[in-house]
Chains A and B, each alone.
With several copies, the nearest count.
Chain A
Amino acid sequence: MANLTTKIGDLTLKNPVITASGTFGYGEEYLDFLDINQLGGICVKGTTLHRREGNPYPRMAETPSGMLNAVGLQNKGVDYFINTIYPRLTVFETAFIVNVSGSTLEDYIETAEKINSLSFIPAIELNISCPNVKQGGMAFGVDKDMAAEVVKEVRKVYHKTLIVKLSPNVTDIVSIAEAVEHVGADAVSLINTLLGMAIDAETQKPLLSTITGGLSGPCVKPIALRMVWQVAHAVKIPVVGMGGISNARDAIEFFLAGATAIEVGTANFIDPAVSLQVIQGVNDYLQRHHCESINDIIGALKTV
Protein backbone atom coordinates (compact mmCIF):
# COMPACT_ATOMS: atom_id res chain seq x y z
CA MET A 1 0.00 0.00 0.00
CA ALA A 2 1.40 3.40 -1.01
CA ASN A 3 1.03 6.29 1.41
CA LEU A 4 -2.17 8.01 0.34
CA THR A 5 -2.54 10.49 3.20
CA THR A 6 -2.78 14.07 2.14
CA LYS A 7 -3.14 17.38 3.96
CA ILE A 8 -5.51 20.26 3.32
CA GLY A 9 -4.88 23.01 5.85
CA ASP A 10 -5.05 21.37 9.28
CA LEU A 11 -7.03 18.49 7.92
CA THR A 12 -5.26 15.21 7.22
CA LEU A 13 -7.19 12.88 4.93
CA LYS A 14 -6.48 9.16 4.96
CA ASN A 15 -6.60 9.29 1.20
CA PRO A 16 -7.11 12.05 -1.33
CA VAL A 17 -10.52 10.95 -2.62
CA ILE A 18 -13.54 12.95 -1.47
CA THR A 19 -17.08 12.65 -2.75
CA ALA A 20 -18.36 15.92 -4.19
CA SER A 21 -21.10 18.03 -2.70
CA GLY A 22 -24.58 17.44 -4.06
CA THR A 23 -23.66 14.11 -5.57
CA PHE A 24 -23.32 11.90 -2.50
CA GLY A 25 -26.09 13.09 -0.21
CA TYR A 26 -24.86 12.80 3.38
CA GLY A 27 -23.06 9.57 2.60
CA GLU A 28 -25.85 7.55 4.19
CA GLU A 29 -27.60 7.11 0.84
CA TYR A 30 -24.60 5.07 -0.29
CA LEU A 31 -24.21 2.70 2.67
CA ASP A 32 -25.63 -0.24 0.76
CA PHE A 33 -22.99 0.16 -1.92
CA LEU A 34 -19.72 0.85 -0.18
CA ASP A 35 -18.02 1.27 3.17
CA ILE A 36 -17.94 5.05 3.35
CA ASN A 37 -15.36 4.86 6.12
CA GLN A 38 -12.83 4.04 3.45
CA LEU A 39 -13.30 7.40 1.75
CA GLY A 40 -10.85 10.22 2.27
CA GLY A 41 -13.77 12.51 2.91
CA ILE A 42 -17.37 13.32 2.09
CA CYS A 43 -18.51 16.77 1.07
CA VAL A 44 -22.11 16.88 2.14
CA LYS A 45 -24.91 18.65 0.29
CA GLY A 46 -24.96 22.39 -0.12
CA THR A 47 -26.19 23.72 3.24
CA THR A 48 -27.77 27.12 3.67
CA LEU A 49 -28.83 29.17 6.66
CA HIS A 50 -32.51 28.63 6.02
CA ARG A 51 -34.42 25.76 4.54
CA ARG A 52 -34.67 25.90 0.73
CA GLU A 53 -37.11 24.11 -1.52
CA GLY A 54 -34.83 24.32 -4.53
CA ASN A 55 -36.03 24.78 -8.08
CA PRO A 56 -39.12 23.29 -9.68
CA TYR A 57 -38.97 20.01 -11.59
CA PRO A 58 -37.44 19.26 -14.14
CA ARG A 59 -34.02 19.69 -12.63
CA MET A 60 -31.92 17.39 -14.76
CA ALA A 61 -31.02 16.91 -18.40
CA GLU A 62 -28.57 14.51 -19.91
CA THR A 63 -25.97 15.95 -22.29
CA PRO A 64 -23.09 14.41 -24.28
CA SER A 65 -20.83 12.79 -21.65
CA GLY A 66 -22.44 14.79 -18.90
CA MET A 67 -25.52 16.25 -17.32
CA LEU A 68 -27.07 19.55 -16.40
CA ASN A 69 -28.62 20.05 -13.00
CA ALA A 70 -30.74 22.77 -11.54
CA VAL A 71 -31.35 21.42 -8.07
CA GLY A 72 -30.96 24.87 -6.59
CA LEU A 73 -29.55 24.01 -3.18
CA GLN A 74 -32.57 22.17 -1.83
CA ASN A 75 -31.82 21.49 1.83
CA LYS A 76 -33.47 21.77 5.22
CA GLY A 77 -31.16 24.47 6.53
CA VAL A 78 -28.14 24.43 8.79
CA ASP A 79 -30.06 23.97 12.04
CA TYR A 80 -31.75 20.85 10.75
CA PHE A 81 -28.34 19.62 9.65
CA ILE A 82 -26.89 20.24 13.07
CA ASN A 83 -29.75 18.78 15.05
CA THR A 84 -30.84 15.87 12.93
CA ILE A 85 -28.17 14.82 10.46
CA TYR A 86 -24.91 15.67 12.18
CA PRO A 87 -25.44 13.35 15.17
CA ARG A 88 -25.94 10.44 12.79
CA LEU A 89 -22.71 11.20 10.94
CA THR A 90 -20.47 11.10 13.99
CA VAL A 91 -20.40 7.28 13.99
CA PHE A 92 -18.44 7.22 10.73
CA GLU A 93 -14.69 7.36 10.33
CA THR A 94 -14.22 9.72 7.45
CA ALA A 95 -13.87 13.49 7.16
CA PHE A 96 -17.25 15.15 6.69
CA ILE A 97 -16.85 18.50 5.00
CA VAL A 98 -19.89 20.76 4.93
CA ASN A 99 -20.52 22.63 1.70
CA VAL A 100 -21.81 26.05 2.77
CA SER A 101 -23.87 28.14 0.39
CA GLY A 102 -25.71 31.40 0.76
CA SER A 103 -27.40 34.34 -0.89
CA THR A 104 -25.89 37.10 1.21
CA LEU A 105 -22.68 37.73 3.06
CA GLU A 106 -24.54 37.38 6.34
CA ASP A 107 -25.92 33.98 5.33
CA TYR A 108 -22.44 32.66 4.73
CA ILE A 109 -21.07 34.06 7.98
CA GLU A 110 -23.90 32.82 10.14
CA THR A 111 -23.91 29.35 8.58
CA ALA A 112 -20.13 28.98 8.86
CA GLU A 113 -20.23 30.13 12.46
CA LYS A 114 -22.77 27.47 13.33
CA ILE A 115 -20.74 24.75 11.66
CA ASN A 116 -17.62 25.96 13.45
CA SER A 117 -19.06 24.64 16.69
CA LEU A 118 -19.39 21.06 15.40
CA SER A 119 -16.38 19.18 16.68
CA PHE A 120 -16.76 16.34 14.20
CA ILE A 121 -16.70 18.61 11.13
CA PRO A 122 -13.05 19.43 10.35
CA ALA A 123 -13.65 21.69 7.36
CA ILE A 124 -16.12 23.59 5.29
CA GLU A 125 -16.18 24.03 1.55
CA LEU A 126 -17.44 27.54 0.92
CA ASN A 127 -19.52 27.36 -2.22
CA ILE A 128 -19.26 30.76 -3.88
CA SER A 129 -20.06 29.29 -7.24
CA CYS A 130 -23.48 27.70 -7.46
CA PRO A 131 -24.99 28.66 -10.81
CA ASN A 132 -28.42 27.33 -10.01
CA VAL A 133 -30.05 29.88 -7.78
CA LYS A 134 -30.46 33.53 -8.45
CA GLN A 135 -28.46 34.37 -5.37
CA GLY A 136 -26.53 31.14 -5.11
CA GLY A 137 -23.19 32.69 -4.48
CA MET A 138 -22.24 32.65 -8.16
CA ALA A 139 -22.11 36.44 -8.06
CA PHE A 140 -19.52 36.13 -5.29
CA GLY A 141 -17.59 33.53 -7.24
CA VAL A 142 -17.22 35.49 -10.46
CA ASP A 143 -15.93 38.72 -8.93
CA LYS A 144 -12.60 38.66 -7.18
CA ASP A 145 -13.38 41.48 -4.76
CA MET A 146 -16.66 39.93 -3.68
CA ALA A 147 -15.01 36.53 -3.41
CA ALA A 148 -12.30 37.98 -1.21
CA GLU A 149 -14.83 39.78 0.95
CA VAL A 150 -16.95 36.75 1.73
CA VAL A 151 -13.88 34.64 2.47
CA LYS A 152 -12.41 37.33 4.69
CA GLU A 153 -15.58 37.60 6.74
CA VAL A 154 -16.09 33.85 7.01
CA ARG A 155 -12.45 33.44 8.01
CA LYS A 156 -13.14 35.60 11.08
CA VAL A 157 -15.76 33.21 12.40
CA TYR A 158 -14.56 29.88 11.04
CA HIS A 159 -11.41 28.53 12.64
CA LYS A 160 -10.98 25.14 11.06
CA THR A 161 -10.02 24.24 7.52
CA LEU A 162 -11.62 26.62 5.08
CA ILE A 163 -11.82 25.40 1.49
CA VAL A 164 -13.23 27.84 -1.05
CA LYS A 165 -15.00 26.34 -4.04
CA LEU A 166 -14.43 28.31 -7.21
CA SER A 167 -16.62 28.89 -10.22
CA PRO A 168 -15.32 27.99 -13.68
CA ASN A 169 -17.63 30.54 -15.30
CA VAL A 170 -14.97 33.22 -15.28
CA THR A 171 -12.39 34.78 -17.53
CA ASP A 172 -9.57 34.45 -15.04
CA ILE A 173 -9.93 31.81 -12.33
CA VAL A 174 -6.36 32.36 -11.19
CA SER A 175 -7.05 35.90 -10.01
CA ILE A 176 -9.98 34.68 -7.93
CA ALA A 177 -7.95 31.87 -6.41
CA GLU A 178 -5.21 34.33 -5.53
CA ALA A 179 -7.69 36.75 -4.02
CA VAL A 180 -9.17 34.15 -1.67
CA GLU A 181 -5.75 32.77 -0.79
CA HIS A 182 -4.71 36.26 0.16
CA VAL A 183 -7.52 36.65 2.70
CA GLY A 184 -6.94 33.34 4.44
CA ALA A 185 -8.49 30.45 2.54
CA ASP A 186 -6.72 27.22 3.51
CA ALA A 187 -7.42 25.64 0.14
CA VAL A 188 -9.41 26.11 -3.01
CA SER A 189 -11.55 23.48 -4.67
CA LEU A 190 -12.52 23.57 -8.31
CA ILE A 191 -14.44 23.33 -10.48
CA ASN A 192 -18.09 23.81 -9.69
CA THR A 193 -20.47 23.32 -12.59
CA LEU A 194 -20.31 25.25 -15.85
CA LEU A 195 -23.40 27.19 -16.80
CA GLY A 196 -25.16 25.38 -19.63
CA MET A 197 -28.50 24.82 -21.24
CA ALA A 198 -30.45 22.13 -23.04
CA ILE A 199 -33.52 22.29 -25.25
CA ASP A 200 -36.03 19.70 -26.37
CA ALA A 201 -36.21 20.38 -30.10
CA GLU A 202 -39.61 18.69 -30.44
CA THR A 203 -41.47 20.51 -27.68
CA GLN A 204 -39.34 23.63 -28.27
CA LYS A 205 -38.97 24.04 -24.51
CA PRO A 206 -35.93 24.15 -22.24
CA LEU A 207 -35.22 20.85 -20.52
CA LEU A 208 -34.72 22.54 -17.15
CA SER A 209 -37.33 24.54 -15.28
CA THR A 210 -34.72 27.23 -14.77
CA ILE A 211 -33.70 27.25 -18.47
CA THR A 212 -30.00 27.20 -17.60
CA GLY A 213 -28.25 24.86 -15.18
CA GLY A 214 -24.91 23.48 -14.11
CA LEU A 215 -22.93 21.17 -16.38
CA SER A 216 -20.90 18.33 -14.85
CA GLY A 217 -19.42 15.00 -15.82
CA PRO A 218 -16.62 13.82 -18.13
CA CYS A 219 -17.46 16.51 -20.72
CA VAL A 220 -16.05 19.19 -18.40
CA LYS A 221 -12.87 17.34 -17.49
CA PRO A 222 -10.55 19.08 -19.98
CA ILE A 223 -11.68 22.49 -18.71
CA ALA A 224 -11.41 21.45 -15.07
CA LEU A 225 -7.96 19.99 -15.56
CA ARG A 226 -6.77 23.17 -17.25
CA MET A 227 -8.09 25.33 -14.42
CA VAL A 228 -6.59 23.11 -11.72
CA TRP A 229 -3.26 23.27 -13.50
CA GLN A 230 -3.42 27.06 -13.83
CA VAL A 231 -4.47 27.60 -10.22
CA ALA A 232 -2.02 25.08 -8.76
CA HIS A 233 0.79 27.01 -10.42
CA ALA A 234 -0.39 30.31 -9.01
CA VAL A 235 -1.28 29.64 -5.38
CA LYS A 236 0.63 28.09 -2.50
CA ILE A 237 -2.39 26.62 -0.73
CA PRO A 238 -3.60 23.15 -1.69
CA VAL A 239 -5.94 22.71 -4.62
CA VAL A 240 -8.77 20.19 -4.50
CA GLY A 241 -9.49 19.18 -8.08
CA MET A 242 -12.72 17.93 -9.57
CA GLY A 243 -14.78 17.90 -12.73
CA GLY A 244 -15.61 14.72 -14.58
CA ILE A 245 -13.44 12.34 -12.61
CA SER A 246 -14.81 8.86 -13.31
CA ASN A 247 -11.89 6.53 -12.70
CA ALA A 248 -8.40 6.36 -11.23
CA ARG A 249 -6.75 7.50 -14.45
CA ASP A 250 -8.79 10.71 -14.41
CA ALA A 251 -7.82 11.26 -10.78
CA ILE A 252 -4.13 10.75 -11.58
CA GLU A 253 -4.38 13.42 -14.26
CA PHE A 254 -5.64 15.90 -11.66
CA PHE A 255 -2.86 14.97 -9.23
CA LEU A 256 -0.26 15.44 -11.97
CA ALA A 257 -1.82 18.83 -12.75
CA GLY A 258 -1.29 19.83 -9.12
CA ALA A 259 -4.31 18.73 -7.09
CA THR A 260 -3.62 17.72 -3.49
CA ALA A 261 -6.92 15.89 -3.29
CA ILE A 262 -9.75 15.24 -5.70
CA GLU A 263 -13.52 15.01 -5.57
CA VAL A 264 -15.72 12.56 -7.42
CA GLY A 265 -19.13 13.92 -8.36
CA THR A 266 -21.44 12.92 -11.17
CA ALA A 267 -19.70 9.55 -11.58
CA ASN A 268 -21.33 8.44 -8.30
CA PHE A 269 -24.68 8.40 -10.08
CA ILE A 270 -23.50 5.89 -12.62
CA ASP A 271 -21.46 3.74 -10.29
CA PRO A 272 -22.17 4.36 -6.60
CA ALA A 273 -18.97 2.58 -5.52
CA VAL A 274 -16.70 4.34 -8.01
CA SER A 275 -14.80 6.31 -5.34
CA LEU A 276 -13.41 3.16 -3.79
CA GLN A 277 -12.30 2.00 -7.23
CA VAL A 278 -10.56 5.33 -7.67
CA ILE A 279 -8.73 4.91 -4.35
CA GLN A 280 -7.69 1.38 -5.25
CA GLY A 281 -6.64 2.42 -8.75
CA VAL A 282 -4.57 5.35 -7.49
CA ASN A 283 -2.80 3.02 -5.11
CA ASP A 284 -2.14 0.53 -7.90
CA TYR A 285 -0.81 3.30 -10.12
CA LEU A 286 1.58 4.52 -7.43
CA GLN A 287 2.91 1.02 -6.88
CA ARG A 288 3.28 0.39 -10.58
CA HIS A 289 5.19 3.65 -10.93
CA HIS A 290 7.30 2.88 -7.84
CA CYS A 291 6.01 5.86 -5.90
CA GLU A 292 5.87 5.63 -2.14
CA SER A 293 3.39 8.39 -1.64
CA ILE A 294 0.71 10.32 -3.42
CA ASN A 295 2.91 13.37 -2.90
CA ASP A 296 5.29 11.95 -5.49
CA ILE A 297 2.82 12.66 -8.26
CA ILE A 298 1.14 15.86 -7.09
CA GLY A 299 2.13 18.53 -9.60
CA ALA A 300 4.56 16.11 -11.26
CA LEU A 301 3.42 16.83 -14.81
CA LYS A 302 6.44 16.79 -17.12
CA THR A 303 6.16 19.87 -19.30
CA VAL A 304 9.83 20.38 -20.17
Chain B
Amino acid sequence: MKKIIGDLVVSENIPLKNNHFLLKLTQAEPLPHILPGQFVQLKIDDTPSVFLRRTFSINYVDRKKNEIWLLIQVVGDGTRSLSNCKIGDSLNLIYPLGNSFSMPTSSQSRLLLVGGGVGVAPLLFLGAILAEKGFSPSFLLGARNIDGLIELEKFQQFGDVYIATEDGSAGEIGFVTDHSILKNSFDKIYTCGPTPMMQAISQFAENQFIDCEVSLENKMACGIGACLCCVTQTHQGNQCVCTDGPVFNTKELAWQI
Protein backbone atom coordinates (compact mmCIF):
# COMPACT_ATOMS: atom_id res chain seq x y z
CA MET B 1 0.00 0.00 0.00
CA LYS B 2 1.80 3.08 -1.20
CA LYS B 3 2.31 5.83 1.31
CA ILE B 4 2.00 9.40 0.16
CA ILE B 5 3.33 12.77 1.28
CA GLY B 6 0.87 15.34 0.15
CA ASP B 7 -0.81 18.64 0.85
CA LEU B 8 -4.52 18.54 1.57
CA VAL B 9 -6.77 21.52 1.98
CA VAL B 10 -9.03 22.16 4.97
CA SER B 11 -12.61 21.98 3.70
CA GLU B 12 -14.26 22.18 7.13
CA ASN B 13 -13.15 22.69 10.71
CA ILE B 14 -16.05 22.01 13.03
CA PRO B 15 -15.67 22.79 16.73
CA LEU B 16 -17.22 20.04 18.87
CA LYS B 17 -17.82 19.92 22.57
CA ASN B 18 -15.23 19.15 25.22
CA ASN B 19 -12.25 20.58 23.30
CA HIS B 20 -12.70 18.32 20.30
CA PHE B 21 -12.95 19.38 16.69
CA LEU B 22 -13.52 17.67 13.38
CA LEU B 23 -11.13 18.57 10.62
CA LYS B 24 -12.10 17.68 7.06
CA LEU B 25 -9.29 17.65 4.52
CA THR B 26 -9.66 17.32 0.81
CA GLN B 27 -7.90 17.41 -2.52
CA ALA B 28 -8.96 17.56 -6.16
CA GLU B 29 -7.52 14.16 -7.12
CA PRO B 30 -9.04 10.93 -5.82
CA LEU B 31 -7.63 9.76 -2.50
CA PRO B 32 -5.63 6.56 -2.36
CA HIS B 33 -7.36 3.50 -0.94
CA ILE B 34 -7.55 3.86 2.84
CA LEU B 35 -8.38 1.13 5.34
CA PRO B 36 -10.13 1.53 8.69
CA GLY B 37 -7.62 1.84 11.51
CA GLN B 38 -5.01 3.64 9.44
CA PHE B 39 -3.60 6.98 10.49
CA VAL B 40 -1.86 10.08 9.21
CA GLN B 41 1.27 11.98 10.24
CA LEU B 42 0.44 15.65 10.05
CA LYS B 43 2.97 18.47 9.87
CA ILE B 44 2.40 21.58 11.97
CA ASP B 45 4.51 24.47 10.78
CA ASP B 46 3.40 27.47 12.77
CA THR B 47 4.06 26.40 16.34
CA PRO B 48 7.60 26.76 17.68
CA SER B 49 7.05 24.15 20.40
CA VAL B 50 5.98 21.52 17.87
CA PHE B 51 8.90 19.75 16.22
CA LEU B 52 7.73 16.34 15.06
CA ARG B 53 4.65 15.49 13.04
CA ARG B 54 1.46 14.73 14.95
CA THR B 55 -0.37 11.42 14.63
CA PHE B 56 -4.11 11.13 14.08
CA SER B 57 -6.38 8.22 13.24
CA ILE B 58 -8.48 8.51 10.15
CA ASN B 59 -11.96 9.14 11.49
CA TYR B 60 -13.79 8.77 8.21
CA VAL B 61 -13.18 8.84 4.48
CA ASP B 62 -15.74 10.51 2.27
CA ARG B 63 -14.80 9.06 -1.09
CA LYS B 64 -17.22 11.21 -3.04
CA LYS B 65 -15.71 14.41 -1.72
CA ASN B 66 -12.13 13.05 -1.57
CA GLU B 67 -12.28 13.93 2.08
CA ILE B 68 -10.35 12.61 5.05
CA TRP B 69 -11.83 13.39 8.45
CA LEU B 70 -9.74 13.75 11.58
CA LEU B 71 -11.43 13.87 14.97
CA ILE B 72 -9.06 15.70 17.25
CA GLN B 73 -8.93 16.56 20.91
CA VAL B 74 -7.00 19.64 21.96
CA VAL B 75 -4.39 18.44 24.45
CA GLY B 76 -1.33 20.57 23.72
CA ASP B 77 0.20 23.19 21.46
CA GLY B 78 0.01 21.18 18.24
CA THR B 79 -3.64 20.27 18.51
CA ARG B 80 -4.46 23.80 19.69
CA SER B 81 -2.85 25.23 16.58
CA LEU B 82 -4.75 22.78 14.38
CA SER B 83 -8.00 23.73 16.03
CA ASN B 84 -7.49 27.24 14.59
CA CYS B 85 -7.16 26.04 10.99
CA LYS B 86 -9.19 27.99 8.50
CA ILE B 87 -11.00 26.67 5.45
CA GLY B 88 -8.55 26.72 2.57
CA ASP B 89 -5.46 26.23 4.75
CA SER B 90 -3.14 23.62 3.38
CA LEU B 91 -1.80 20.82 5.60
CA ASN B 92 0.97 18.37 4.81
CA LEU B 93 0.15 14.72 5.53
CA ILE B 94 1.95 11.42 5.26
CA TYR B 95 -0.72 8.78 4.77
CA PRO B 96 -2.23 6.23 4.85
CA LEU B 97 -0.06 4.66 7.55
CA GLY B 98 -0.21 1.50 9.60
CA ASN B 99 -2.08 -1.75 9.17
CA SER B 100 -5.84 -1.82 9.71
CA PHE B 101 -8.60 -3.53 11.60
CA SER B 102 -9.18 -6.92 10.01
CA MET B 103 -12.56 -7.72 8.53
CA PRO B 104 -14.61 -10.31 10.40
CA THR B 105 -14.31 -13.89 9.24
CA SER B 106 -17.36 -15.58 7.78
CA SER B 107 -18.24 -17.01 11.21
CA GLN B 108 -18.10 -13.63 12.95
CA SER B 109 -21.27 -11.60 12.70
CA ARG B 110 -21.95 -10.20 16.14
CA LEU B 111 -19.50 -7.31 16.28
CA LEU B 112 -18.90 -4.88 19.10
CA LEU B 113 -16.86 -1.70 18.65
CA VAL B 114 -15.79 -0.25 22.00
CA GLY B 115 -14.45 3.26 22.12
CA GLY B 116 -13.47 5.68 24.86
CA GLY B 117 -12.72 9.38 24.63
CA VAL B 118 -11.11 10.50 21.38
CA GLY B 119 -10.28 6.82 20.82
CA VAL B 120 -13.66 6.56 19.16
CA ALA B 121 -12.08 8.24 16.11
CA PRO B 122 -11.05 5.20 14.03
CA LEU B 123 -14.18 3.27 15.01
CA LEU B 124 -16.43 5.51 12.93
CA PHE B 125 -14.68 4.61 9.69
CA LEU B 126 -14.51 0.98 10.78
CA GLY B 127 -18.24 1.00 11.53
CA ALA B 128 -18.94 2.58 8.14
CA ILE B 129 -16.94 -0.05 6.30
CA LEU B 130 -18.52 -2.89 8.30
CA ALA B 131 -21.98 -1.53 7.56
CA GLU B 132 -21.06 -1.19 3.89
CA LYS B 133 -20.05 -4.85 3.90
CA GLY B 134 -23.43 -5.84 5.33
CA PHE B 135 -22.60 -6.21 9.00
CA SER B 136 -24.61 -4.59 11.78
CA PRO B 137 -21.98 -3.53 14.26
CA SER B 138 -22.89 -2.38 17.76
CA PHE B 139 -21.03 0.51 19.31
CA LEU B 140 -20.28 0.80 23.00
CA LEU B 141 -18.94 4.26 23.72
CA GLY B 142 -17.65 5.45 27.04
CA ALA B 143 -16.75 8.79 28.51
CA ARG B 144 -16.39 10.51 31.84
CA ASN B 145 -19.65 12.36 31.30
CA ILE B 146 -22.12 13.33 28.60
CA ASP B 147 -19.83 16.06 27.28
CA GLY B 148 -17.19 13.49 26.40
CA LEU B 149 -19.46 11.69 23.95
CA ILE B 150 -18.47 12.87 20.50
CA GLU B 151 -20.04 12.15 17.08
CA LEU B 152 -22.87 10.05 18.57
CA GLU B 153 -25.27 10.78 15.73
CA LYS B 154 -22.63 9.71 13.22
CA PHE B 155 -22.19 6.34 14.90
CA GLN B 156 -25.94 5.85 14.96
CA GLN B 157 -25.95 5.79 11.14
CA PHE B 158 -24.00 2.55 11.15
CA GLY B 159 -25.41 0.54 14.08
CA ASP B 160 -26.84 0.51 17.58
CA VAL B 161 -25.04 2.73 20.03
CA TYR B 162 -24.70 1.91 23.75
CA ILE B 163 -23.33 4.41 26.19
CA ALA B 164 -21.54 4.33 29.50
CA THR B 165 -20.55 7.42 31.44
CA GLU B 166 -18.66 7.44 34.69
CA ASP B 167 -21.08 9.90 36.25
CA GLY B 168 -24.22 8.47 34.67
CA SER B 169 -25.01 11.70 32.85
CA ALA B 170 -25.78 9.63 29.75
CA GLY B 171 -26.41 5.92 29.19
CA GLU B 172 -25.47 3.50 31.93
CA ILE B 173 -23.36 4.62 34.84
CA GLY B 174 -19.84 3.22 35.12
CA PHE B 175 -17.06 2.11 32.80
CA VAL B 176 -17.72 0.50 29.44
CA THR B 177 -16.73 -2.80 31.00
CA ASP B 178 -19.65 -2.45 33.42
CA HIS B 179 -22.19 -2.03 30.61
CA SER B 180 -25.04 -4.55 30.43
CA ILE B 181 -24.60 -4.99 26.67
CA LEU B 182 -21.55 -7.06 27.46
CA LYS B 183 -23.91 -9.76 28.75
CA ASN B 184 -24.85 -10.36 25.11
CA SER B 185 -22.72 -12.68 23.03
CA PHE B 186 -20.19 -11.27 20.56
CA ASP B 187 -17.94 -12.86 18.00
CA LYS B 188 -15.46 -10.08 17.69
CA ILE B 189 -14.60 -6.92 19.59
CA TYR B 190 -12.68 -3.95 18.21
CA THR B 191 -11.50 -1.35 20.67
CA CYS B 192 -9.67 1.95 20.82
CA GLY B 193 -9.36 4.35 23.72
CA PRO B 194 -7.42 4.91 26.93
CA THR B 195 -5.00 2.07 27.67
CA PRO B 196 -6.71 0.95 30.91
CA MET B 197 -10.00 0.68 29.02
CA MET B 198 -8.44 -1.34 26.23
CA GLN B 199 -6.75 -3.61 28.74
CA ALA B 200 -9.99 -4.20 30.61
CA ILE B 201 -11.82 -4.92 27.37
CA SER B 202 -9.17 -7.29 26.14
CA GLN B 203 -9.19 -9.05 29.50
CA PHE B 204 -12.94 -9.41 29.18
CA ALA B 205 -12.60 -10.69 25.61
CA GLU B 206 -9.98 -13.19 26.64
CA ASN B 207 -12.13 -14.48 29.49
CA GLN B 208 -15.05 -14.89 27.11
CA PHE B 209 -12.89 -16.34 24.30
CA ILE B 210 -13.89 -13.48 22.02
CA ASP B 211 -11.58 -12.46 19.21
CA CYS B 212 -10.39 -8.92 20.01
CA GLU B 213 -8.44 -6.23 18.19
CA VAL B 214 -7.07 -3.09 19.83
CA SER B 215 -5.70 0.03 18.22
CA LEU B 216 -2.73 1.41 20.19
CA GLU B 217 -1.58 5.03 20.43
CA ASN B 218 2.12 4.94 21.22
CA LYS B 219 4.23 8.05 20.77
CA MET B 220 5.69 8.17 17.30
CA ALA B 221 8.54 10.00 15.68
CA CYS B 222 8.61 8.76 12.07
CA GLY B 223 5.36 6.81 11.72
CA ILE B 224 6.87 4.63 8.98
CA GLY B 225 8.91 2.00 10.80
CA ALA B 226 12.27 3.70 10.60
CA CYS B 227 13.00 5.01 14.09
CA LEU B 228 11.84 2.15 16.32
CA CYS B 229 10.49 4.59 18.89
CA CYS B 230 6.88 3.42 19.00
CA VAL B 231 7.32 -0.19 20.06
CA THR B 232 4.99 -2.34 22.07
CA GLN B 233 5.87 -5.67 23.60
CA THR B 234 4.41 -8.61 21.75
CA HIS B 235 5.00 -12.32 22.00
CA GLN B 236 7.36 -11.87 19.03
CA GLY B 237 9.36 -9.23 20.89
CA ASN B 238 9.13 -5.47 20.42
CA GLN B 239 7.02 -4.49 17.42
CA CYS B 240 6.41 -1.09 15.90
CA VAL B 241 2.95 0.31 16.51
CA CYS B 242 3.29 2.41 13.36
CA THR B 243 3.86 -0.45 10.92
CA ASP B 244 3.07 -3.73 12.68
CA GLY B 245 0.10 -1.86 14.21
CA PRO B 246 -1.59 0.34 15.28
CA VAL B 247 -4.07 -2.56 15.32
CA PHE B 248 -3.04 -5.70 17.14
CA ASN B 249 -4.97 -8.79 17.97
CA THR B 250 -4.88 -8.98 21.76
CA LYS B 251 -3.48 -12.50 21.46
CA GLU B 252 -0.27 -11.00 20.08
CA LEU B 253 0.25 -8.43 22.83
CA ALA B 254 2.25 -8.83 26.01
CA TRP B 255 0.35 -6.04 27.80
CA GLN B 256 2.60 -3.99 30.00
CA ILE B 257 0.49 -2.38 32.67
Contact = CB atoms under 8 A, between A and B. Distances in A.
Contacts of A71: 227-229
Contact of A74 (B43, B223, B231): B231
B126 interface: no
Contact of A54 (B2, B4, B226, B228): B228
Interface string B198-223: 00000000000000000000111111
B104 interface: no
B256 A67 contact: no
B223 to A, nearest CB: 8
Interface residues of A, number: 34
Given A53-B237, A57-B231, A60-B230, A32 B4 contact: yes
Contacts of B233: 56-57
B196 interface: no
Given A67-B52, A268-B222, A272-B224, A59 B229 contact: yes
Q: Is the interface of B mostly helix, strand, loop or mixed?
A: loop
Contacts of B2: 32
Given A32-B4, A53-B237, A64 B49 contact: yes
Nearest to A19: B226
A270 B50 CA distance: 11
B134 interface: no
B9 to A, nearest CB: 19
Contacts of B228: 22, 45, 54, 59, 71, 74
Contact of B238 (A29, A30, A53, A272): A53
Contacts, number: 92
Nearest to B43: A270
Given A32-B2, A71-B227, A269 B232 contact: no
Contacts of A53: 237-238
Contact of B224 (A29, A63, A266): A29
Nearest to B76: A62
Nearest to B2: A32
A136 interface: no
A269 B4 contact: no
B61 to A, nearest CB: 19
Interface string B215-255: 00011111111111111110001100001000000000000
Given A32-B2, A33-B3, A273-B5, A62 B51 contact: yes
B226 A269 contact: yes
Given A54-B238, A67-B221, A270-B52, A24 B226 contact: yes
Nearest to B237: A53
Given A270-B43, A272-B94, A62 B224 contact: no
A58 interface: yes
Contacts of B50: 62
A80 B94 CA distance: 30
A137 B220 CA distance: 26
Contacts of A23: 222, 226-227
A105 to B, nearest CB: 26
A23 B53 CA distance: 15
A206 interface: no
A299 interface: no
A238 interface: no
A30 B231 CA distance: 19
List the 9 closest pairs (A to B, CB-CB), nearest first: A60-B229, A25-B226, A32-B3, A269-B222, A29-B226, A59-B229, A269-B221, A71-B228, A29-B225
20 contacts: A22-B228, A25-B225, A29-B226, A32-B3, A33-B5, A45-B228, A57-B238, A58-B218, A59-B231, A60-B230, A63-B51, A65-B51, A67-B221, A74-B238, A266-B221, A268-B222, A268-B226, A269-B223, A270-B52, A271-B43
Interface of A: 22-25, 29-30, 32-33, 45, 53-54, 56-67, 69, 71, 74, 217, 266, 268-273
Given A59-B231, A270-B51, 20 more contacts: A23-B222, A24-B226, A32-B2, A53-B238, A54-B231, A54-B238, A57-B231, A57-B233, A57-B256, A58-B218, A60-B220, A60-B221, A63-B51, A64-B51, A67-B52, A69-B229, A74-B231, A269-B53, A269-B223, A270-B43
